[in-house]
Amino acid sequence: MQKKDLCYAGKAKKLYTTDNPTVFWVEYLDQATALNGAKKDQVVGKGALNNQITSLIFQQLKSEGIPSHFISKISKTEQLVECVEIIPLEVVVRNVAAGSFSKRLQVTEGTPLCFPVVEFYYKEDKLDDPFINDDHVKLLKLATGKEINDIKYLAREINVALQRIFTQIGIKLIDFKIEIGRTKSGQLLLADEISPDTCRLWDLATDKHLDKDIYRRDLGDLVPVYEEVLNRLENQFLVE
Ligand code: C5P
């Protein structure tokens, strides 16, 4: 497989075309950002950690029947994925109050929610990724009514599978963000990444933060924390 043209440069990843028109080449970068890019730092090793964590989680999800764009990890910082059109939505699922949910609704961080809450944010940097509802999604023609239902169903299934994965390694899944891609034939696939950048992960015994809040809230160095998450996943699930 040959890496060809750069087709998208994001905050934490670059996407390249390949000699196969149905396959993209993803490179994970050593960059940490928060506050929609207002806070930005080079963090050596972060790209490799997130690529390895995402690859392991996507493999595990695939074995549990969750359809995704993931094909294979090809190096510590690179993976191959199926070509999809990314729906410009950040789909957030919450099990425990935290972050913007706690701020917006004044619910103390750490309060368990009696059912998983699914939220949509419009992925549009110049608008600061606003919180939107199903009608907005339809009005903006981001997804059809049926797709909205399918996305919510998939998000809840992924939540169940992820909770099972993280519980086995002594981690509580507080919340997470996913992105969904649409194939040429219209199938919806889990896309992008699932890593401590996109999840809130608290140690089951101590509630210690094992995620990007370390960086967002200036709580210390994120590399050893992400290494701990990768080590726990590898000890439990690595079959290579
Ligand atoms: O900030 P907020 O509480 O809305 O974040 C909810 C979840 O979505 C967190 O796990 C956070 O890491 C993730 N998220 C993300 N990318 C964003 C915004 C939030 O991965 N741009």
Task: Dump pLDDT digits (tens) for 199-233.
Answer: 999 999 999 999 999 999 999 999 999 999 999 99
The CB density around residue 80, as the number of other CB atoms within 10 Å, is 18
Is residue 191 within 8 A of residue 81, CB to CB? The reply is yes
CA 68 to ligand 1 centroid distance, Å: 20
Residue spans of alpha helices (H) in the chain: 46-63, 99-105, 134-139, 145-168, 213-216, 222-237
Whole-complex ipTM: 0.99
19-58 pLDDT tens trace = 999 999 999 999 999 988 889 999 999 999 999 999 999 9
Cα separation, 219 vs 147, in Å, equals 39
Best residue for ligand 1 mutational test, from 198, 215, 225 (most atoms within 8 Å of Cβ): 198
> What residues line ligand 1, using a CB cutoff of 6 Å?
90, 92, 98-101, 129, 175-177, 198-200, 212
Q: For the chain, what percent of residues have pLDDT higher than 70?
A: 99
pTM over 0.90: yes
Whether residue 239 is predicted with pLDDT greater than 70 in this model: the reply is no
184-202 pLDDT tens trace = 999 999 999 999 999 999 9
CA 22 to ligand 1 centroid distance, Å: 29
Best residue for ligand 1 mutational test, from 53, 91, 92 (most atoms within 8 Å of Cβ): 92
Beta bridge mates, 96: 112
Q: What does the domain layout of the chain look like in residue ranges?
A: 3-82, 85-222
Closest residue by CA, ligand 1 atom 11: 198
CA 21 to ligand 1 centroid distance, Å: 31
- Looking at domain 85-222, its CATH class is alpha beta
CA 177 to ligand 1 centroid distance, Å: 6
119-178 pLDDT tens trace = 999 999 999 999 999 999 999 999 999 999 999 999 999 999 999 999 999 999 999 999
Pick the CATH number of 3-82 from 3.40.50.1820, 3.40.50.720, 3.40.80.10, 3.30.200.20: 3.30.200.20
Whether residue 97 is predicted with pLDDT greater than 90 in this model: the reply is yes
Q: Is the dihedral of CA 46, 48, 49, 50 positive or negative?
A: positive
Whether residue 5 is predicted with pLDDT greater than 70 in this model: the reply is yes
Whether residue 7 is predicted with pLDDT greater than 90 in this model: the reply is yes
pLDDT band of 240, cuts 50, 70, 90: low
